[in-house]
């Protein structure tokens, strides 16, 4: 249940308890075998899908549609990161880390709330306020969240403590001004917020 037209192809994931299916309804769906639920849906606007194939060892899948073929991955293999000047910020295990390209010094700057159990999908850094947005992608996209952290100035401790964040639901979030960031909510509406995570403006996106 899920596709609303003929199912063209079904494929077992080579290493995970997942099933991939595609259909003439112009979608690819990813299913959890244990829970028997749909985790993700990928769509094309005009093309029906007909065939699926997986690479035996790499995280690569191919799907054939009316006008060609797409190659895709189910999850990201590299950690989320952002670069500002000579500094690279990235997430590893339960820490946000900072790598200085000029000195090659790589140190943790804060511990992510919850121990980083949910992988960070994307991040956005605000150098003016030394603040960072960490976005996590839930298997049910509408339940995705983001955390707003202020990075401590004395952040060279080898084992920094967990820092309190401002957390809210949102598919993604990024900085748009010194003290404003935009959130795409579950209704695909853009919400502008301030550093206190308070709504300052709402923008209706085109349908």
Portion of the chain with pLDDT greater than 70, in percent: 93
CB 105 within 8 A of CB 97: no
112 in Cβ contact with 93 (< 8 Å)? no
pLDDT of residue 207: 59
The two structure tokens encoding residue 118: 């949910």
140 has pLDDT over 70: no
The pTM assigned to this predicted structure is: 0.66
Q: What is the pLDDT of residues 13-54, one digit of tens each?
A: 887 788 999 999 988 888 888 888 887 788 888 889 999 998
Please give the structure tokens belonging to residue 141: 């996209």
Residue 88 CA to residue 105 CA, distance in Å, equals 11
Euclidean distance between CA atoms 107 and 88, whole angstroms: 11
Domains of the chain: 7-72 (no CATH), 81-203 (2.130.10.10)
């Amino acid at each position: 249940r899920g596709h609303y037209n003929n199912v063209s192809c079904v494929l077992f994931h080579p290493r995970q308890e997942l099933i991939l299916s595609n259909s003439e309804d112009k979608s690819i769906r990813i299913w959890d075998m244990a829970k028997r639920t749909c985790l993700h849906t990928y769509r094309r606007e005009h093309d029906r899908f007909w065939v699926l194939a997986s690479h035996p060892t790499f995280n690569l899948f191919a799907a054939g549609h009316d006008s060609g073929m797409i190659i895709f991955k189910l999850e990201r293999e590299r950690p989320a990161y952002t670069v500002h000047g000579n500094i690279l910020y990235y997430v590893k295990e339960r820490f946000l880390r900072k790598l200085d390209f000029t000195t090659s010094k790589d140190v943790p700057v804060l511990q992510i709330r919850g121990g980083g159990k949910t992988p960070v999908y994307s991040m956005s850094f605000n150098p003016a306020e030394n603040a960072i947005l960490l976005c996590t992608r839930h298997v049910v996209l509408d339940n995705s969240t983001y955390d707003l952290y202020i990075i401590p100035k004395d952040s060279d401790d080898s084992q920094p403590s967990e820092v309190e964040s401002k957390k809210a639901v949102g598919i993604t979030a990024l900085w748009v001004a010194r003290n404003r960031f935009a959130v795409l909510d579950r209704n695909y509406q853009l919400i502008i917020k301030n550093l206190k995570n308070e709504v300052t403006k709402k923008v209706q996106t085109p349908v």
